[in-house]
Structures are given as structure tokens and as C-alpha cells.
Amino acid sequence: MNDRKININYYVYTLGGGGAEKALLNLVHNMDKDKFNVTVTTIINTGKYIDELGDEIKHKSVIHIPKIFLKKFVNNTGTLQKDSGQMNTSKEKNDTKMSFAVRVYTFFWKYFSWLLIPIGFFQNIKNDVIVSYLEGPTQIFVSSIPLKRIKIAWIHVDLNAERKSEVFFRNMKQNRNTYKKFDQVIAVSNGVKKSLEDYMKIDTTIPISVKYNVYDESQIKSLAQTGVNANVCSDKLNIISVGRLSKQKGYDRLIEAVSMLDANLLNKFTIRIYGDGEEKESLSSMIIERGLSGVIRLEGFTDNPYFEIANSDLFIAPSRTEGFSTVVVESVIIGTPVLATDCSGMDEILNYGEYGCLVENSVNGVYNGIFQLVSDKDKMEQISKSILNAENIFNKKDLTALTEQMIYSLINKKSN
């Protein structure tokens, strides 16, 4: 490559307010701009983080949706609304309740995505490295680009537990074969890597490595101190959660678990949930039906959840599945202990229970965890003290440097 800059293009579905999208933003901002020309290309031209890319990072899109339609189909984070087309994220079949629009869209990716090949070709003629930063459409798009460039697939979910990307493929064989077009596959946790090997069963000759997402610790800690009058109760244990209101995040299980507690315990804590999503109405109804309006509150989307996390006693993550939870990492960085269900990445983030409480991935698991921490002040104090000693395994400079080194290694390998 001599001494010229390396041109790298990251493909992501949108730049909406999700954890993977925020991780990408942190990564590209911290890459050495003296060595890399960075482009971020969204499949759809939407997302709140587009405006945060700045002048040093180029932005492109594959499919341009007119603003008049974006207003109808995009929520306040810049993420495409799924509405009744929400795809099941569990191991159950994925063809439930898909709207006509979503069926047409997934049909396009299954059978007509080849129509986008010329766009991929012309967008990447001058690029040295092309990255699919998410599963599904970006994986299909990047794998089909007919250029001999370094191609990297970045996987953010446990593919066995969360199968929503499968609706974009005709069958498992097609899904699996796309990986053969990549020079390197990145998993964001050991659990995600295991799902690639055991469930997806990708070709063993394809190298898979684990790289944690990049987090801006200084910004997170700064925002955690930026705010006035946190929304907390001084006489109760303040529990908080932040996440998309979707089936995957397990808030229905949280509500069910809380409803199983007796009245004496319900008076000892409050739960605030920050986020937006397709399950909002059903979760709100569930809270009312179970008489928990005084215990659990849906607070909606907030641009700065860090201040509320910092002023809370406990962060709760009742997720059915994760890849490597961004908000749980952020809670650890801030110093707020975590109660989390045992899904991919959580044991690594919480150092196998040292910085929080890992519970069974079920309603009973969530119930037992809340019961234990609300009932046992000593246990709560123990994890609150332990998290203050958390080692900083999420140093942005170190993690970004590892990615840059990997890119150089792949380029050198291909040129030899």
C-alpha cells in the first residue's frame, strides 16, 4: 500500500439510535485519519447518527427514500419503523405478522438484490476495504460486490438466538455461502463467535476473531455528569433500563417478573425504562393490567440516558438475546451495577458476575434476581462496591488500534 491512506467503506443498514450503530460511530471517529479515509454507507438514507459523522467521515447511501416517506416510516431515532412487520427475534419461525411492505422488502433481498450490484461496484472502485457492519442486507450487499477488495463481515448478534436476519435469505445455504466471500469475520463476543461456528456452521477456513465494540468512555462519563434533577426517588431503590421496546429486549418478562413480587417488596423500588419501539403500546397496557403503574414507568426516548443511569442504584437488562450489549457496557463504565439475563456477551461484560448479577434467561430468573437484590441490602452493596474496581477493558484507543492492525494485516496478506 506504500504510504498512501487506506480507503475503507463501512456498510450499515441505517444510522438509527441502536447500539451497533453507536459502536460504529465510535470506531470511525477514533480511527487514525492520517492513515485512513473513512466512508460510512447506509443501505437506507436515514438515522440520527448521520449528523454526528462530522466532516472527516463521508456518508453515502444505497437506497434513497424521499423525505415525505421517511416521515411516515421512521421513528424519532431515525430507525425504520417495523410496525406490524416486526420480525420475530426468537428461535420461532420468522414469518409471523409481517406486513405487506415488509414482505415485499424481504422478497427483494432474497431474489432481486443483484439489481444493486452496480451501485456496490461504483461506490467501491477506489476503496481498499469494504465492511459489512451488520447481518442481513449489508451482508448480502457487500458479499455480492464484484471487486477484489478486502471484505470484512462484522456480526453483532447471537445468530442462533436472534434469527431475524434470516428472512432476507432464501435459505440457510445462501446465508452461509455469503461468508465465503469475506476475508475476515468479526464477532463482537465469544458467544457470537460460538453461534457462527455451531449454528451457522460457516466454512472453517474463514477466520473468525472476537473484537469488542468501541466505546467513548470519556464522553460517556462526561454525559453522566451532565444533567439536572435526576428522575429518581430518594426513599426507594432506583432501577433503570434503557433499550429498544422490542420483544428481544424482554421488557414483557420484566413486567411479568415484577408482578410476581409481593406488595411489601413493590414498595421498596421503582423501575424507569427509557426507549421507544414497536412494543410500547402492549407494554404500557401490560403495566396497567397488572397494577404496576406506580412501580414501572415507560419514560420514552432520551438523548442522554447516562445521567439517569449514573443516578440510579441498579441497571436491569432482561434481554432474551444480545450480541454484546452496548448499554450494559456503558453502565459498567459509569459505575452502576447491573442485573442481567445470561445471554451472549453478558458474562464477558460483567466479568462473570463480579460487576453485577447474572441470572437465568427467563421470567423466573429476572424475578429471582430482583427479589434477591431488593431483599438483600448486603448483596446490593457488594456489587455496588465491586463495580468501582472494574478494569477498563473497553479502552477506545486500544480497541480501535486492534481493528487498524487487523486491516493492515489483511492487506499485507492479500498483497503477498
Domain ranges in the chain? 6-215+396-415, 217-389
CATH number for region 6-215+396-415:
3.40.50.2000
Check for a shared fold between 6-215+396-415 and 217-389.
yes
**What pTM was estimated for this model as a whole?**
0.85
Distance CA 278, CA 370 (A): 26
The arithmetic mean of pLDDT across residues 54-60, rounded, is 95
Three-state DSSP at 320 gives: coil
SS3 category, 54: coil
- Spatial distance between the Cα atoms of 15 and 397, rounded to a whole number of angstroms: 22
pLDDT, one tens digit per residue, over 314-361 is 999 999 999 999 999 999 999 999 999 999 999 999 988 888 999 999
Q: Could you tell me which residues come within 8 angstroms of residue 50 by beta carbon, excluding any fewer than 6 positions away?
A: 15, 42, 59, 78
First to last CA, the chain: 11
**More confidently predicted of 367 and 105:** 367
Phi, psi of 80, rounded to the nearest 5 degrees: -60, 130
Class of domain 217-389: alpha beta
> Which one-letter DSSP state was computed for residue 74?
B
* Distance, CA of 260 to CA of 220 (rounded, Å): 35
Query: Cα dist. 377→18, 106, 130, 310 in Å?
Result: 34, 50, 51, 19
DSSP result, 21-35: HHHHHHHHHHS-TTT
Reported as a single tens digit per residue, the pLDDT across 144-169 is 999 999 999 999 999 998 888 999 99
Of the pLDDT bands very low, low, confident and very high (cuts 50, 70, 90), residue 92 is: very low
Q: Name the band, by pLDDT with cuts 50, 70 and 90, for residue 85.
A: very low
Confidence of residue 76 (pLDDT cuts 50, 70, 90): low
Bridge partners, residue 208, by sequence: 185
